[in-house]
Amino acid sequence: MRECQGNTRWDSVAIRSESHYHGLMRNESDGQLTADELAKRRVPCFIGYIHPFRIVEADAFEPWACTIEQVNGRHWDYAALHEMAGGLDVGLAPPYHLVVSRDGALALPPLPELRSDQSAVECLNRCLAGLLLGGVYCEAITPDGLDFGSIIDWRYIRSSRSGTSAPNRFHLHIRHGHASPLDAIALYQPRTVKFDSLARAMRIGLGTLNRLPAVRGDYFLRGVTGIARRDWGAALANTWIVAEQVISELWRRHVVEPTVAEDATRARRAQLTDTRTWTASARIELLFQKGILSKGTVASLSNARKARNDLSHEGRHPTQADALSAYDGVCGLMTVALEGERPPLFALDLSDHLMSDPFDSPKRLTVEPTHWMEIPKLPGEVELERAEAAYRARRT
């Protein structure tokens, strides 16, 4: 892994001027590229992927097209999957941006504060949480979902060392043109998202998180991911962390600051911020008595808190209702903290877990198949299927 050299830029895809690119090509043909020019042509980066898979469309691109013949023959336009769609402002120090490719790769610069797996993953998950709050469903990544690669000529995002998670392996195979038809069928009429939609969702989502400085977006993202994957323990544990963070924010605004404005002594502030005296349940009750929290939100938080205590102290696995109570409670808390505003996420339905993307249209489940392939039979399976068919025929 090389460090960025010279004045390497991450502003956005717009900084890749044609004159700059063709100038480098002319120098290369003369064999005169300097070390600084070479560094500009291949810039190191960390890479994660938007999951579930989407093709990112941009005005500068022709619409993505992949035929069933290309899927079967493994000759889709793999280079187009690497193309940069643009750069998203995610709050990195200027001039750095989060760069997005056509297949949903998200590339981060190797800034000193991001040069560990955990730091890079936390940063990417905060960005994904921003997209989620802004209404674009996506799931959390873990350290095995991190690639290392480079930006080439400010045109392509190339992964050179792939993570071992399933999404990373999928992207590795489609980018190399070696995915099997079973995997590559995702390239045929795939789910798409406009780059402008990603930019809008990121702006809304990160704006929401910036208004709630106590809230860690990566925990919120993991909580929603747990609900989508029916992992109720992960959903409850992570969502309750967010609940306590928002409760602390509301406590500061509505109890600590008004009181300290009247009595600014250190003892008074220390008494109000003592979590042994003012536990989460005590804070919830006082906020309810002050008319800040609704009865429904308090009921959801009460159910979630009991389930979380049972999980932490007794190892009792929570139910779906427990996890959804925590989620409903967080939605209520955040709506209050945002002064009545509801992020686009809260209008989406998480209850249908039959879809890989809970926010996708349910019509996808009812459409008739357009293509098929033969499934290899196991020994005795044909006879079993015939017997099952004969039994069903007798029953009718």
Q: Residue ranges per domain, the chain?
A: 26-209, 214-360
pLDDT at 370: 76
Residue 8 has pLDDT above 60, yes or no: no
Kindly report, residue by residue over 26-83, the tens digit of the pLDDT. Answer: 455 556 888 888 888 899 999 999 999 999 999 999 999 999 999 999 999 999 999 9
- Structural contact between residues 148 and 161, judged by C-beta atoms closer than 8 angstroms: yes
pLDDT at 6: 37
Q: What is the pTM of this model?
A: 0.84
307 to 198, 279, 303: CA distances (angstroms): 35, 16, 6
Residue 3 has pLDDT above 70, yes or no: no
Residue 382 pLDDT level (bands cut at 50, 70, 90): very high
pLDDT at 352: 53
Rounded to the nearest integer, the mean pLDDT of the chain is: 87
- Structural contact between residues 123 and 206, judged by C-beta atoms closer than 8 angstroms: no
Residue 372 pLDDT level (bands cut at 50, 70, 90): confident
Residue 358 has pLDDT above 70, yes or no: no
pLDDT at 13: 36
pLDDT at 104: 96
Kindly report, residue by residue over 251-297, the tens digit of the pLDDT. Answer: 999 999 998 888 888 888 888 888 888 999 999 999 999 999 999 99
